Each structure stands twice: as C-alpha cells, then as structure tokens.
Structure 1
Amino acid sequence: MTADPSAPLVTILDDEPAIRAMLSDALEEAGFRTMSFGRATEFEAALQSATPDVCLVDLSLPDKDGLTLVHRLALEQGATVIIISGRAQVQDRITGLELGADDYIIKPFDPTEVVARVRARLRRGQPQQQSGNTASFSGWTAHFDSYLLEDETGDKTPMSHAEGQVLRLFLERPKRLISRAVMQEILGGAAGESFDRAMDVRISRLRTKLKEDPKNPRLIKTIYGAGYIFLGDVSWR
C-alpha cells in the first residue's frame, strides 16, 4: 500500500534492525510515513532533505551520543522527539526530557503504545482550544473550577488558588522542563527571592497533597539550577 504523501512522517533511529522493522510496520499500518536509520550520521544526512513530524531516537547509538543528538534536534530542528531506550532509571528519563525530548519510552515496549504516543504528541502540537477545567493524571483528578484534588477513592482535598495555578502550569506542560523564569512570566509577580520562596512553598504543599515522598517525588521533579519537570501523563476534559 502506498503511503499518503500528506501523512505525518516519523523517523526511526535505532541500531537494532528488528526494532526498526517492528516500529515501521506498526506506524505504517496506522497510516504514518516512516524512514528508518541504524546510524546517527545517516539520519542527520537525511534531515537535509526531509522534515520529520516526529523523531523516534534510541540513546545507545554506535556512532554518536543519543542525548546530544536529542538536544540538537529539539533546539535546532524544533522537532518532536520521543526517546526509546533500555535505560529505565528515573534520572535517565529526567535527563532526556530536560535536554528537550517530548516523551520517553522504555524498552521493551508494545508497538501499539508507541503509535499511541506518536498520535498524542502530534495532537498536542496542533492548535487547540484552551484546556478544560478537569485534568486526570496518575490516579488523581484536578478540578480547577472548584480547586479540588480527587484521589482514586473519591476523597477530595482543597487547593488554594495559588496552588491550583502552579499545578495547572505543570499539567499543561507535562514532561517539559519549566524554568523559574518561565513560571514567573506566566504566573506573574516580582522576580527574585520572594518569588522563588513562594514557588517553593506552593510546590511543597502540592507534593504533600499529592502524597509525594518529599525526598524522592515521582511526579513533580526538581532539576536543581534549572526548574521543574512534571513526569505524569495528563488528559484534559
């Protein structure tokens, strides 16, 4: 079947032929165009004439460092980048997301999950109406019309307006580094130590309400000297 030339193009960079074939088959069956590469140099050469909508990048490449490539793709190409890696440590995920990746998938994976993640990223890149007032993530539901946090059992915890503003900022930008400067620009207020202290207090209170381990939070991660990353998957309605 000939691919629709207007279909989104997904590039696959992985040194394992079986993985490249599996991903290509799944994505093409779902209606995407694909291009596959086993080496970073081949991939970079193809970028001179092709503009992918989504780049799937393995971190363990035979000829170049995958994280460096991810960073350059995000900064110079403005590409949507999804890392696919066998590195399952939280710090690896944080580093990849901090360097500009839009998502991180751990091997082994189900190819249907990759297709779903690609579709989700393409939807997020399209112009959308303003987010709704209810967001679900990691077993929680945030109701921004009433400033309530609801857990899986239905128990509800009130949020202050200020806490709700910070949480909404994270939920509208999941898995992206949010610097203090960006927070100050969006949330307003005078920059400096007073703003930083206010953010620290709000984030600490949110972590408590989300029942996070203060020494090792799983959702709102602090990237020291850079900002914060929210690691949960989010759906709005």
Structure 2
Amino acid sequence: MKSNNLIYVIEDEEDLGQLMCRALENFRYQVRYFTNGVDALTAAPKDNPDICIVDLNLPDMDGLELVKQFDSQHRGVIIVSGRDDLTDRVLGLEFGADDYVTKPFEPRELVARVQSLLRRLQRSVEAETVVAKKAEFSGWVFRPDSLELSYQAQDKQSLSRAEGDMLLSLLKHPFQILSRDQLLGDNCTPYDRSIDVRMSRLRKKLESSGDGNELIKTVYGAGYMLTTAVVWS
C-alpha cells in the first residue's frame, strides 16, 4: 500500500530525476516528476504535495525563486544541487528550504531526509493544532482532556495516557498510515515493541462496544491506520 504522502521531484537531469523517483517509490511514496519549475508550480495547488525536492539549476526559472514560492504555499522543501558553496546553502535555507543535499548523493540518503522532514512537519502541525474538546467517530466519543472514551454516550471507560496519546494521533490523521515511530513519538527506542501491547489494549476497548468493524487496521511493514472519519467539536 502506497503512502498518502505526495513528493514532487523537480530536476532537469532526467536520469537523476528518474533515479530519485524510483528510490522514493521503492519506499511507497507517491511521486510526480517535473523537468521544469513552471509545470510544478501550476500543478501544486491541485495536488497539494507534502514535500518538493528542487534542483537549483532549472531551465526555465531560478531554483531559489521556486523554493521561495513553495515555502509561501507552506510546503516542505528539500534542495538538491551541485553547488556546495556555503553562500548557496545559506541562501537556500533563507529562501525557505528545510534541507539542502549536495550532488552527488546516495538515493537512500535522500529518502532518509524525506522521512525526517515528514516527521518534523507532522510534529509542527500537531504542535500548532488546537485540541478540540472531543472527537466523534463511528459512534465513539473521545475526550483528550480527560482521556474518557465512550460509545453512544454509554459504556464510559478511561484510557491510559499512552493509549490516549496513541488514539489522539490516529484521530488527527484518519485514513493515513502512521508508523510505530510516529505513534510512539519521543518515547520511541530502537525495536520498541511496546506499541503492539498498547495497540492490543486499545483495540479491545474499542471492540467492547460498537458494530464490530475494524477501526484500527494493521498495515504490515508500515504501521497502523484509522479507517473511519472523525468529527472534532
């Protein structure tokens, strides 16, 4: 299953551009490839890409200007460039880039930087989100402030802080696959399997009432996904 994250690759060297696309697609990202800046700018408002990977030496416009425009649209930006001068790096970051990768580079390094930036962007969105009083989904109501979970205003039960934090992350991103790292956040350690225990407990509580549908789906090798719409109030 592909990730919901869409990555733009804007690179006029087609061999390199296709190599970057394949590397990202191997990690199940959705990717669109452009050889110039104008086409990417035209498509972005409709596609709403999460991250734009921009080469500075484009045939139709200054790459730094493209970076600036993408930043003004609140998109994550990674520069890839053969320019290794400190001035270029500083200018790129000042114009709104989130990261700067110099050519040549290993495709796996680029993927790692994309993954890291996506995590930072998600944390930033969550930090800026005003938590509403309650979330309603498939007959359930969850109140983050009290960690109270109830079904159709009955069967009230309390979640642990860890269970509540995990459910809150899922509720903020319905129909999106969240990795173990994303669900555990800063509490994550290498090969941490505690999330499986917490997820099992949370599922049992959700299965204690309701219509029996699987609200939290396991996406093997990727993470977990909430399979229902959420209304905040």
TM-score, length basis structure 1: 0.51
Alignment of 1:181-200 (within 5 A): none
> Which one of 11, 33, 41 corresponds to residue 8 of structure 2?
11
CA distance in 2, matches of 1:92, 1:85: 9
| Corresponding residue number in structure 1 for 2:198 | none
Distance 2:20 2:93 in 1: 22
**1:66 maps to what in 2?**
63
Residue 55 of structure 1: how far off its partner (Å): 0.3
* Residues 37-52 of structure 1: pairs in structure 2 closer than 5 A: 37-52=34-49
The residue type paired with residue 50 of structure 2 is D
If the length of structure 2 is used for normalisation, what is the TM-score?
0.52
Shift of 1:127: 2.7
Cα distance in 1, alignment partners of residues 24 and 16 from structure 2: 12
Deviation at 1:7, TM superposition (A): 2.1
Give the counterpart letter for 1:112 in structure 2. R
Q: Is 1:84 aligned with 2:90? A: no
1:220-231 correspondence to structure 2 within 5 Å? none
Q: Tell me how far 1:125 sits from its aligned partner.
A: 1.1
Structure showing greater Rg:
2
Aligned to 2:113: 117
Q: Give the whole-Å Cα distance in 1 for the aligned partners of 2:48 and 2:102.
A: 25
2-structure distance, mates of 1:55, 1:48:
13
* Separation in 2, partners of 1:106, 1:127: 26
Structure 1 unmatched ranges of 5 or more: 131-235
Residues 85-126 of structure 1, C-alpha deviations (whole Å, 9 max, x = no match)? 000001110010011100000001100000000000000111
Q: Distance in 2 between matches of 1:7 and 1:28?
A: 12
Of 42-51 and 55-64, deviating more is: 42-51
SS in 2 for 1:126: helix
Q: 2:123 and 2:109 mapped to 1: Cα distance? A: 24
Count the aligned residue pairs.
Answer: 128
Post-superposition shift, 1:72? 1.3
Deviation at 1:31, TM superposition (A): 1.3
- Displacement of 1:49 after TM fit? 1.5
The alignment yields a C-alpha RMSD, in angstroms, of 1.9
Say whether 1:21 aligns with 2:18: yes
Identity of aligned residues (%): 41
Which residue of structure 2 lines up, in the alignment, with residue 161 of structure 1? none
1:23-66: CA deviation from partner (whole Å, max 9, x where unpaired): 11000001100000001111112113111111000000000011
Q: Which has the higher helix share?
A: 2
The SS at the match of 2:119 is helix
CA distance in 1, matches of 2:8, 2:123: 23
Q: Aligned with 2:4: secondary structure?
A: coil
**Structure 1 counterpart SS, 2:104:** coil
Q: 1:101 aligns with which of 85, 90, 97?
A: 97
